[in-house]
Structure 1
Amino acid sequence: MRLRSCFCSVAIIAMGCTAAVHDDKKADLLGAGDASASSDSGSVPGGSSGSDAGAGAGTGTTEDSGVTAATALSCRADASEIASVWDIPGSTQFTADGTWSDGTTDDVTATATWSVAPDSEGTIAPDGTYTAPPRNAGPMVILVEWEGLTAECSVDTRLEATIDLVGDTALEAAIRATVPTLAVDCAPYVLYPYDRSRIPADFFSPEVQWLDEQGHNTFVITFETEWITIQAITSADSWTPTGDEWWAVADPGSGRDIAMTVLGGHWDASTGTLPDGLCGSPWSTELTTEYWGAPGAVLYWTPDAQGIWKVDIGAETADAWADISTTGQCVGCHSTNYANPPLFATARGTGGYGASVIAEVTDPLTSLAGGGREASFSALDPSGTRMVRADRGVLYLDDLTTDANLGTLPTTGWPTHPNWSPDGRWVAYSSCGSVSGGNDWTAFDCNLHIIEVLPGDTWGPDTALAIAPPNQSYYYPEFSPDSQWVAFTRNTNEDSYDAVTAELMITALTGSPPVVLANANTQPNATNSWPRWGPIVGDIGWLAFSSRRNYALRTSGNHQVWVTGVDLADVSSGIDGSAPPVWVPGQSITTGNHTPSFIQTQPE
């Protein structure tokens, strides 16, 4: 790969700011206030001598006492425009002006202290020369301090780069000289990422994939934010930016909105021309980035490996966490986590009714070796001392410290899919009308119910949270990290196991009408199921789920783990706040991947 510096200049605009007047008085610069010293040899900041007083900017003495005070500080940029390209950052000179109580002003650049604000990037030298970051851009803040006064200057930095994956300088020149045609009939069709996706900025780079039916052999992919433009030239049918290239445009500090375009053309190397030019869609693919907001990993169960695999946030590949190769038996079907992040409730063994066990996030192999309790689904309380487990139409409560059963929960219907709220106050479950074959995982006609957790291992009344319409089922409830929302799955005229019509929904714990997450579902009959919460950052709640939808060119019908960012403020107003989903990078595309859970790294 070659990164070429061949874009036109782009502006960096500097705006000066002036500090407020301080009450501090400047010490006598001329020797104990001696007026004669001020007129003969006293020096002042900026290099002016006392004999120059009154001659213009750069002097600062009083006529009688010989005492001056620094009253104001401002900074400004010598150049208003600067060009930065990848790894070749531009620079500009900043100047600091200090004002004295007698109204005179000095250039104090050399004696001031310069720095780049903590949330900004780039470097600034002691002489005020600012150099933009080599691989990032956006609004930057420069700080300056002098004589107890401070000021700041805002700088807009911009960055451009061309990533030449073909290595033909003649092609690159031809691309630059070509005005593309914007028409649907000749444009490559972008398959991934989806338009209007909300992408976790801290995930690994997405693979841009497209379908070309015009026989093009050259493609130009452009990511453009408010501050950064990155362009890649390739002959392949996809492009994955490097981590640095992706972070440059994905960092929300660089502009949260990304416009992505893919152009196609036929390059004739023998003539050095693009005979038919370049063609792209009249509409760009609009992407938004948000921070995932917490370190950790997405864990998922794959029956192919009979165990749980994990993808660390930001990682490029998945690793085995605990599977049959390390435990000697299948691990991970019907796992849950979040009420107690250091622990993981999962099933171990063969068949749907395995042993429900507890795994320590940091040491799964050792903790999984212990005994288990027969169950199909289970959930932990926040303390990690209580487990609710579903076993053949009954929800049991177990004390994990004494390994004793404490009784059953007051449920209705055929109860299954329990989930304990992270605040410890509620247990949600699916109350179903019937099951197939006596199995908790093949349930029909389910509604969502909640039970309040009371002191002394007792329970409040069983209460309906969301009632499904006729011919539908609501199941797989999952509490949000703040315990205010319940995400779940619905289907139509199917049991709960791998339902083709499965779709994602969400409801508030207050019992407001459920909202279909249509943008996340994207298409019908994609088996969108097992919603599991990641972090909530501001109004955005992350939901992971499994789906049989195709991952563009890479999969065909096998389950994969996807993530959608849900604007909970919109959901509060009854609006679908979800976004078209993002494929979780790093998972295997050859296996079926189910039941995702987010494990948050615990602070040291």
Structure 2
Amino acid sequence: MALALAACTTGEAPLGEPDGGLQTASLVLEPAEVELTSVEGAMPTASFRAYARTLDGEMVEVTPESWRLTHDRIGAVDTSGTFTANGRAGGMVEVVARAPGAIAAIEGRATIRVHIEREAPLDPSVPPSVRDRFDLPEVEDPFESVLLEYPLDGARMPNNVAPPVVQWDPLPRGGADDAYRIVLSSPYATVRAYAYDSGRGFTSSWASDRETWRILADSARGEELALRVDRVASGGTTVFRGQPVRVWLSEDGLYGTVYYWQVRPDPQSSDVFRLDAATGARASVFGTESGACVGCHSLSHDGRRLASTLDSRAATWATTIVDTASSSAPPPDLLGPFEPSYHFLAFRPDGARILASRAEGTEASGVSRLVMLDGATGLPAAASGIPEGEAGYPAWSPDAEWVAWMQGGGDGPRGTRAPTSIVVAPVEGDDALGAPRAVHEGASLSESFEGGSTDSRPTWSPDSRFLAFAHGTSSVSATEFGSEPPRAALYVVSRDGGDPIRLERGMGVEGQIDAFWPVFSPFVTEEADGTRLYWLAFYSRQDYGNAYAGTRGTGRRQLWVTAIDPTLVERGEDPSSPPYWLPGQDTRADDIAALWAPTGCRGQGESCSTSSECCSGECAAADPSMPDVLTCRPPSVCRRGGESCETAADCCSGLECNLGVCGYVPPI
């Protein structure tokens, strides 16, 4: 334990009668600054003393009426002024003592910094002697040092994201019996882990356990995290120090559920999966089997209704709206099936209206039109202002005041390669849209790196002030026989129009012409300096990691997320950061077409079959005489931060309930 003390400004503090009615002008804590180091979970302590500076300038030791910390993430302070680190997180905190003053109560403050030193649990495949091989001189050699392939340098990640799988280039810098040391460090924590190439199926990667990653993330809230991999070759006498990459962990976390389309080639089938945006836990929504197909999915703003087109609900393709809060696979129908099917549905935030697209005539026509639907019945509703020409990919803004769509092409299974534009229109009532306005013409980017004249897939920012969209040679990524693979890139543009901004950093170095289907998360994070970040998901064929633990060389489509700084959008600068791969995906399949919403759950009094379906986390019989009649009940134990909720009454004291999450406070 390292302890740094700052002496009282008047020298040795004289002793006086504590709390003896002193006319106190200020309160001074000693030591003024403390640095503690916790090794392998140790809980070091530091004791503070309080001195009152009287109106006469005298320094007298006193007993404060209270001690507290500015936050409780790294430890606790008792009533005598002794701080104890919890050994689970590093960081900085202020200890605050309070005492009566000459006029009003006064406070004294001291600063505590805690640094964590940990070694990750050793995998059973790693010999314990591997640690000793790193007691050698270290050198940096560009020809021998390990090159990391994931995470991407400069990426921003939400603080609560599941641990990334650290992956490196296995050749030519490695071979059997090589030993690896993975070092992860932030200003307040250092974690070391080890890997070993036994020559049998080594994947040149390391996956952190959740507890170790949680220590790192809790110690790096709003901080940079550096990662490197050091190597000792078989029989080597030198440690080749790895070339580091740096990622930024946000102050806050992301929540909600991502619904995406998974395409499996062997056996050929497709399904919609749900994935927890924080933990990476995934599950099939429809449980499709070999040969079955489901796709063209859309999601309501509250996450309770999912619309999908299936080949198993009718003689032809049919669209069904299902209950996402159900734990059944497939979930029960709420509306439909509708024939002929719809392509995409944009739900108004309150769910009362749906702007949908469907084929004109048969799907073979390749032409799609928009239609307004009644959200309660799913039936067409007479509405004015609906575009008469070819249009698709509708999107309804989070503030319910605007809609957007692609104009000039169809949004059927084969998409379009036609010159298209992104159009917005104000909402002027339940069944009326105002005058449409093109905010971007695809042809204006025909000379861009990705080429093409097709704008598609508009998605609204959480504040409804701008849109992200894809531009390229096609609105879909599927490659038709004998044709060039489609190319696309991501842009943002104001809802008032103007020059689009290319998300250069956000697509990744290898994804500059291969980024499709953007979608904003409804969750917004805020950094300590007040910077707000929006989060944009998309899919890409860019390589994820290496060929053994990732997808390198396969061209498989995977989901990525980039952070967007809206203040940079206003300044006309690239607002994106290098992306992170969304944890929990299947690297053996194509995972595409993400939609992001609060996790759908059922409120109190609604029927349920399991507790996981309820916002309160509890499903039980309300009447003991009818044990088979189950409904969602109030929680018997308050819901903690990050857990689901229906109202703030479900949450532990002081926590808000927003977007179905206890403790989430929207910064906009």
Range class of TM-score, shorter chain: 0.7 to 0.9
Amino acid at match of 2:369: V
Amino acid at match of 2:196: S
Residue of structure 1 aligned with 2:119, choices 155, 162, 169:
162
Matched residue, 2:310:
348
Give the direction of change, closer, same or farther, for the CA distance of 1:506–1:345 in structure 2 (3 Å limit): farther
Matched residue, 2:369:
394
User: Could you tell me how far 1:520 is from its partner in structure 2?
Assistant: 2.3
Residue of structure 1 aligned with 2:185, choices 224, 227, 231:
224
Matched residue, 2:616:
none
- SS of 2:331's partner is helix
Residue of structure 2 aligned with 1:199, choices 138, 152, 157:
157
- Distance in 1 (CA, whole Å) between partners of 2:413 and 2:51 is 78
- Distance in 2 (CA, whole Å) between partners of 1:352 and 1:117 is 63
Matched residue, 1:289:
249
What's the TM-score, normalizing by structure 1? 0.81
Residue of structure 1 aligned with 2:138, choices 163, 168, 180:
180
Residue of structure 1 aligned with 2:338, choices 372, 390, 410:
372
What is the 5 A alignment of 1:32-431? 57-59=15-17, 68-77=22-31, 80-100=34-54, 104-109=58-63, 112-147=65-100, 148-163=105-120, 165=122, 171-175=130-134, 177-212=135-170, 213-216=172-175, 217-236=178-197, 237-251=204-218, 253-254=220-221, 256-268=223-235, 274-275=236-237, 277-281=238-242, 283-291=243-251, 293-304=253-264, 306-324=270-288, 330-331=293-294, 333-337=295-299, 339-349=301-311, 354-363=317-326, 365-368=331-334, 370-372=336-338, 374-392=341-359, 393-407=368-382, 409-411=385-387, 413-431=389-407
Does the Cα contact within 8 Å between 1:301 and 1:307 map onto a contact in 2? yes
> How many residues end up aligned between the 2 structures?
541
- SS of 1:123's partner is strand
- SS of 1:335's partner is strand
- Distance in 2 (CA, whole Å) between partners of 1:242 and 1:178 is 27
Amino acid at match of 1:406: A
Greater Cα radius of gyration, structure 1 or 2: 1
- SS of 1:214's partner is coil
Residue of structure 2 aligned with 1:537, choices 525, 528, 535:
525
Amino acid at match of 2:434: G
User: Could you tell me how far 1:151 is from its partner in structure 2?
Assistant: 2.4
User: Could you tell me how far 1:161 is from its partner in structure 2?
Assistant: 2.1
- Distance in 2 (CA, whole Å) between partners of 1:468 and 1:544 is 21
Matched residue, 1:491:
472
Does the Cα contact within 8 Å between 1:226 and 1:255 map onto a contact in 2? no
Unaligned runs of 5+ in 1: 1-8, 19-54, 269-273
- Distance in 2 (CA, whole Å) between partners of 1:16 and 1:430 is 68
Matched residue, 1:50:
none
What's the TM-score, normalizing by structure 2? 0.73
Does the Cα contact within 8 Å between 2:564 and 2:576 map onto a contact in 1? yes
- Distance in 2 (CA, whole Å) between partners of 1:467 and 1:581 is 27
- Distance in 1 (CA, whole Å) between partners of 2:231 and 2:440 is 49
User: Could you tell me how far 1:128 is from its partner in structure 2?
Assistant: 2.7
- Distance in 1 (CA, whole Å) between partners of 2:421 and 2:354 is 22
- Pair 1:567-2:565 in alignment: yes
Give the direction of change, closer, same or farther, for the CA distance of 1:117–1:246 in structure 2 (3 Å limit): same
- Distance in 2 (CA, whole Å) between partners of 1:122 and 1:229 is 18
- SS of 2:419's partner is strand
Matched residue, 1:38:
none
User: Could you tell me how far 1:171 is from its partner in structure 2?
Assistant: 4.4
Amino acid at match of 1:238: S
- Pair 1:461-2:435 in alignment: yes
- Distance in 2 (CA, whole Å) between partners of 1:434 and 1:356 is 18
What is the 5 A alignment of 1:440-455? 441-455=415-429
Give the direction of change, closer, same or farther, for the CA distance of 1:15–1:424 in structure 2 (3 Å limit): farther
User: Could you tell me how far 1:415 is from its partner in structure 2?
Assistant: 0.6
Residue of structure 2 aligned with 1:510, choices 484, 496, 515:
496
- SS of 1:518's partner is coil
- Distance in 2 (CA, whole Å) between partners of 1:293 and 1:81 is 27
User: Could you tell me how far 1:370 is from its partner in structure 2?
Assistant: 3.8
Does the Cα contact within 8 Å between 2:145 and 2:231 map onto a contact in 1? yes
- SS of 1:391's partner is strand
CA RMSD of aligned residues (A): 3.3
- Pair 1:577-2:575 in alignment: yes
Give the direction of change, closer, same or farther, for the CA distance of 1:526–1:240 in structure 2 (3 Å limit): farther
Amino acid at match of 1:235: Y
User: Could you tell me how far 1:395 is from its partner in structure 2?
Assistant: 0.6
Task: Summarize deviations over 1:194-248 as a string: whole Å, max 9, x none.
Answer: 1111112211100000013233511111111111111212215211112222222
Give the direction of change, closer, same or farther, for the CA distance of 1:390–1:132 in structure 2 (3 Å limit): same
Give the direction of change, closer, same or farther, for the CA distance of 1:154–1:495 in structure 2 (3 Å limit): closer
Does the Cα contact within 8 Å between 1:360 and 1:367 map onto a contact in 2? yes
User: Could you tell me how far 1:576 is from its partner in structure 2?
Assistant: 1.6
Give the direction of change, closer, same or farther, for the CA distance of 1:112–1:77 in structure 2 (3 Å limit): farther
Deviates more, 1:588-597 or 1:288-297: 288-297
Does the Cα contact within 8 Å between 1:14 and 1:80 map onto a contact in 2? yes
Matched residue, 1:35:
none
Task: Summarize deviations over 1:490-518 as a string: whole Å, max 9, x none.
Answer: 113x4535363122221121212111112
- Pair 1:546-2:539 in alignment: yes
- Distance in 2 (CA, whole Å) between partners of 1:432 and 1:247 is 48
Deviates more, 1:409-418 or 1:482-491: 409-418
User: Could you tell me how far 1:380 is from its partner in structure 2?
Assistant: 0.9
Does the Cα contact within 8 Å between 1:297 and 1:599 map onto a contact in 2? yes
Deviates more, 1:96-105 or 1:252-261: 96-105
- Distance in 2 (CA, whole Å) between partners of 1:524 and 1:427 is 29
User: Could you tell me how far 1:125 is from its partner in structure 2?
Assistant: 3.5
- SS of 1:306's partner is strand
- Distance in 2 (CA, whole Å) between partners of 1:17 and 1:242 is 45
Deviates more, 1:221-230 or 1:566-575: 566-575
User: Could you tell me how far 1:521 is from its partner in structure 2?
Assistant: 2.1
- Distance in 2 (CA, whole Å) between partners of 1:323 and 1:169 is 43
Give the direction of change, closer, same or farther, for the CA distance of 1:16–1:362 in structure 2 (3 Å limit): farther
Does the Cα contact within 8 Å between 1:60 and 1:102 map onto a contact in 2? no
Give the direction of change, closer, same or farther, for the CA distance of 1:352–1:513 in structure 2 (3 Å limit): farther
User: Could you tell me how far 1:323 is from its partner in structure 2?
Assistant: 3.5
- SS of 2:182's partner is strand
Does the Cα contact within 8 Å between 1:356 and 1:378 map onto a contact in 2? no
Task: Summarize deviations over 1:505-557 as a string: whole Å, max 9, x none.
Answer: 21121212111112222225763211111123243110111222222232222
Give the direction of change, closer, same or farther, for the CA distance of 1:368–1:530 in structure 2 (3 Å limit): farther
